[in-house]
DNA sequence: ACCAAACTGACATGTGCCTGAACAGAAACG
DNA sequence: CGTTTCTGTTCAGGCACATGTCAGTTTGGT
């Protein structure tokens, strides 16, 4: 799952980011609304965490305008304990949930879990990427009509690449994502899994940048 | 039972969703009519909960057009206390029942139960899925002419898989559905039930994705 | 041409899943 | 009220497959 965190406080923000990452999700952290808009333009998010007390302009307006534009992305508001009016206004503006600061990180995880579950219940957002149809709910990929099922590790790896299609992912980053921070597996696991993904999805899907890392090949020939 | 909830208010909507879920049903929540139409196009519902005060267009028209199209799905209207005329118009337009806001969640459960009972008395919507004929009212399955009766747990599990045929259901999700949210039991109950379902319905019906979960096998062989 | 980095096929291992059986509780029956 | 039957749950043994490791080969940069 991919989360957009809009929070100007560095301490809180990094704590939240770390927690969400630890839960196995993918976070983009915007400290200002302008930044958030930029993120939103280039990526799809499954959840937005929105702090209403932001330096540049009102977060509420951001929310309202998104909703007015027909954007249904679930939004969870972060608000201080005494800002009851904010909370109500937020829900009225189209927020799905709110968290009262200071909140427990465990609580955050729990709410995230709820969103994941709710999200999983909806009709599947289906992504199309370079000839592949990605069914996130089914955790499978359709390639020329054939359904390809990925194993757990393969999926995590593919999802990581897929969620940031343009980005170059170093082997260290990918390793970190597969083996949450402990297991310093000193082997070529990533290379092996990249190979397995290529075998299943097509060799042209993943590009190697020697000495740096991997990335999804940009929807090359889909137009050609 | 599968319910379509059409309600734009987040607070009320989530409360209703949670209640229905706790009652052991399956909810899709649309916040707008357009969304509701989309849901309706891809799934069959046993009950529609319709709020008449929606942002985009009149809920009444939605109801009338459904009825005009021959759709017999029971519709329960959610209406504010003072909108008596709406209530009457709703019933005239083909609604089966109504709930006056603010309503008690227990009341909601009771009405749902009533619908379930009424529904059970009606000629059953019969689903056909990969060689099986599914009789939702009788909680039984016809396989090659033979009637197979499922027990309560087996049925809940099978129904869950069946209602979202393409989706991968993790063991945690299935457990949550069988034992509404408490039981942190570390046991292999789900595995056992999956096994029993397979024995009854055919081993090929349910697919295991190791480390992730289960899903109904897409009737690919029906083409072969 | 040389070296480093990446690819690939093969294999050992552990773990996640399956299954049969046994047990406990509840319901059905006399 | 006791017995039987059915449903739900637990457990242990076994198996298969995903996983991680490595050796040998290929690729690409300089």
| Average pLDDT of adjacent 10-residue blocks, chain A of 224 residues | 88 87 83 86 83 74 81 80 62 71 73 65 61 82 84 92 85 82 71 93 88 78 37
Confidence of residue B65 (pLDDT cuts 50, 70, 90): confident
Q: Is A135 on the interface with B (CB under 8 A)?
A: yes
pLDDT higher than 90, residue B125: no
Domains of chain A, CATH where assigned? 2-121 (3.40.50.2300), 126-216 (1.10.10.10)
Q: Do B11 and A91 touch (CB under 8 A)?
A: yes
The CA distance from A136 to A127, in Å, is: 8
Q: How far is A137 from chain B (nearest CA, A)?
A: 5
Residues 184-213 of B with CB under 8 A from A: 209-212
Reported ipTM: 0.64
From the CA of A218, how many Å to the C1' of C16? 36
* B22/A contact by beta carbon, under 8 A: no
Examine the pLDDT at B115 and tell me if it is beyond 80: no
Residue B148, CB, less than 7 Å from strand D?
A: no
The pLDDT > 70 percentage for chain A reads 76
pLDDT of residue B208 exceeding 90: yes
Dihedral (CA of A35, A84, B102, B178) sign? positive
Chain D bases near protein CB atoms (7 A cut-off): 6-12, 17-23, 28-29
pLDDT on residue A21: 82
Residue A140 distance to chain B (closest CA, Å): 9
3-state secondary structure chain A: CEEEEECCCHHHHHHHHHHHHHCCCEEEEECCHHHHHHHHHHCCCCEEEEECCCCCCCHHHHHHHHHHCCCCCCEEEEEECCCHHHHHHHHHHCCCEEEEECCCHHHHHHHHHHHHHHHHHCCCCEEEECCEEEECCCCEEEECCEEEECCHHHHHHHHHHHHCCCCCEEHHHHHHHHCCCCCCCCCCHHHHHHHHHHHHHCHHHEEEECCCEEEECCCCCCCC
Task: Tell whether A91 is within 8 A of chain B (Cβ).
Answer: yes
Å between A131 CA and nearest CA of chain B = 20
Q: How many angstroms is C1' of D26 away from CA of B12?
A: 62
The answer to whether the peptide bond before residue B106 is cis (omega within 30 degrees of 0) is no
Nucleotide nearest to A195 (CA to C1'): C7
A133 touches chain B (CB under 8 A): no
Interface check A129 vs B, CB under 8 A: no
| Closest residue, chain A, to B177 (C-alpha) | A117
Return the residue of B nearest to A122 by Cα.
B28
Residue of chain A whose Cα is closest to the Cα of B21: A118
């Amino acid at each position: 799952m991919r989360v957009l965190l809009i929070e100007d406080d560095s301490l809180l923000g990094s704590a939240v980011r770390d927690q969400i990452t630890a839960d196995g999700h993918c976070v983009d952290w915007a400290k200002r609304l302008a930044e958030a808009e930029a993120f939103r333009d280039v990526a799809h998010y499954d959840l937005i965490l929105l702090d209403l007390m932001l330096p540049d302009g009102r977060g509420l307006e951001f929310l309202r305008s998104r909703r007015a534009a027909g954007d249904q992305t679930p939004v969870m508001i972060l608000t201080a304990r005494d800002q009851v009016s904010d909370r109500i206004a937020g829900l009225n503006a189209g927020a799905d949930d709110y968290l009262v600061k200071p909140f427990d990180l465990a609580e955050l995880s729990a709410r995230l879990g709820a969103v994941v579950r709710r999200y999983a219940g909806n009709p599947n957002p289906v992504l199309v990427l370079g000839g592949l149809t990605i069914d996130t709910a089914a955790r499978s990929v359709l390639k020329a009509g054939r359904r390809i099922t990925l194993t757990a590790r393969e999926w995590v790896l593919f999802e990581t690449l897929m969620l940031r299609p343009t980005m170059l992912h170093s082997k260290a980053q990918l390793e970190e994502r597969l083996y949450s921070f402990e297991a310093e597996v000193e082997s070529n696991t990533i290379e092996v899994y990249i190979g397995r993904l290529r075998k299943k999805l097509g060799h042209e899907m993943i590009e190697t940048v020697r000495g740096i890392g991997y990335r999804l090949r940009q929807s090359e020939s889909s137009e050609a």
